[in-house]
């Protein structure tokens, strides 16, 4: 079973949790770490012979086209994470269209290939913004991986399907992996949960997705999650601080085990659309 290894390419200061602390027009004045962190992530994948999918911000492609070229040259899939990490819930249809068109163009210009995949910032699709799929299709995207079928205070559609499905618009949605425990879905597709759970629990969950559900795991991480030395943001809530900084130093070691214990590939290889 080949699982999908995905990376949301953004810098540490672009996460939604810091939105109220670092304005978008201050991003260019922050010490950038995305390039160095991406080299570490790409080195790690190369070491293990793994290809993955990189959902990259247009903002990053615009400033660091060399990262985009290394993604493409390494045989990975280049995909879109929107332009500047504005959540879909904060955009009207016209704004959303501008955002995803701009991101696709910047990525395709830097990478010299066609971009088919999209992941919404902070999994910000909701039941009431289904128009996103029509617009994604119209703008040339072929699949989305923007739904977390979990109950969470910041994101998620708890009762969304746990397997890939075709929306009534015709768009393919590939949700982040969960396992079913009683009446609830437990997130097990990475992100903060990869840092929160002991590695053995992550491994058990992924094995269960593979064996009990007969599904590939859709796993995701961010380049800033392997960067324990990143600048610490002052004045954020305790919950945000714990979520963002917890176990950063453990991630690289855990990734080495993850990349060894399972087989991984690109999203468009695991689920061709
Ligand atoms: Zn993101």
**Residue 268 alpha carbon to ligand 1 centre in Å:** 20
Q: Does domain 2-270 have CATH number 2.40.110.10?
A: no
Mean pLDDT within 17-31: 94
pLDDT confidence of 126, banded at 50, 70, 90? confident
pLDDT tens-digit readout, 181-195: 998 999 988 989 999
**Residue 55 alpha carbon to ligand 1 centre in Å:** 8
pLDDT at residue 78, as a whole number: 98
Altogether, the residues listed in the chain come to a count of 273
**Residue 57 alpha carbon to ligand 1 centre in Å:** 8
**Residue 1 alpha carbon to ligand 1 centre in Å:** 27
**Residue 263 alpha carbon to ligand 1 centre in Å:** 24
**Residue 122 alpha carbon to ligand 1 centre in Å:** 5
**Residue 117 alpha carbon to ligand 1 centre in Å:** 14
pLDDT at residue 56, as a whole number: 98
Q: What is the 3-state secondary structure (H, E, C) of the chain?
A: CEEEEEEEECCHHHCHHHCCCCCHHHHHHCCCCHHHHHHHHHHHHHHCCCCCEEEECHHHHHHCHHHHHHHHHCCCEEEECCCCCCCHHHCCHHHHHHHHHHHHHHHHHHHCCCCCEECCHHHCCCCCCCHHHHHHHHCCCCEECCCCCCCCCCCCCCCCCCCCEECCCCCEECCCCEEEECCEEEECCECHHHHHCCHHHHHHHHHHHHHCCCCCCEEEECHHHHCCCCCCCCCCCHHHHHHHHCCHHHHHHHHHHHHHHCEEECHHHHCCC
**Residue 243 alpha carbon to ligand 1 centre in Å:** 14
**Residue 14 alpha carbon to ligand 1 centre in Å:** 8
More confident residue, 172 or 156: 172
pLDDT at residue 87, as a whole number: 95
**Residue 37 alpha carbon to ligand 1 centre in Å:** 15
Domain residue spans of the chain: 2-270
pLDDT tens-digit readout, 137-171: 999 999 999 999 888 877 888 888 999 999 999 99
pLDDT tens-digit readout, 78-118: 999 999 999 999 999 999 999 999 999 999 999 999 999 99
Mean pLDDT within 264-269: 98
Whole-number average pLDDT of the chain: 95
**Residue 53 alpha carbon to ligand 1 centre in Å:** 14
- Alpha carbon 68 to chain centroid, angstroms: 15
Q: Six-digit token pair at 82?
A: 């929107």
Taking the C-alpha atoms of residue 18 and residue 21, their distance in angstroms, rounded to an integer, is 5
**Residue 222 alpha carbon to ligand 1 centre in Å:** 8
């Amino acid at each position: 079973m080949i699982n999908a290894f995905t990376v949301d390419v953004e810098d540490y200061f672009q996460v939604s949790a810091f939105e109220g602390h670092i304005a978008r027009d201050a991003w260019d004045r922050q010490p950038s770490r995305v390039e160095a962190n991406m080299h570490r992530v790409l080195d790690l994948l190369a070491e293990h012979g793994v290809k993955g999918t990189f959902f990259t911000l247009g903002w990053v492609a615009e400033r660091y086209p060399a990262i985009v070229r290394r993604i493409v040259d390494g045989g990975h899939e280049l995909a879109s994470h929107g332009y500047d990490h504005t959540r879909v819930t904060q955009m009207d249809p016209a704004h959303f269209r501008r955002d995803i068109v701009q991101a696709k163009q910047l990525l395709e210009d830097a990478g010299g290939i066609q971009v088919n995949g999209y992941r919404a910032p902070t999994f910000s699709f909701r039941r009431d913004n289904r128009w996103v799929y029509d617009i994604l299709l119209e703008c040339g995207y072929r699949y989305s991986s923007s739904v977390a079928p979990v109950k969470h205070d910041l994101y998620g559609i708890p009762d969304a399907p746990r397997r890939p499905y075709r929306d009534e618009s015709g768009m393919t949605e590939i949700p982040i992996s969960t396992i079913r425990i009683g009446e609830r879905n437990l997130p097990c597709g990475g992100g903060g949960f990869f840092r929160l759970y002991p590695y053995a629990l992550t491994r058990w969950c992924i094995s269960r997705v593979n064996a009990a559900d007969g599904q590939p795991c859709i796993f995701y991480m961010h380049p800033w999650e392997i960067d324990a030395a990143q600048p610490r943001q002052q004045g954020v809530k305790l919950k945000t601080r714990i979520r963002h900084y917890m176990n950063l130093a453990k991630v690289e070691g855990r990734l080495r085990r993850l990349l060894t214990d399972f087989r991984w590939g690109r999203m468009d290889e695991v689920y061709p659309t």
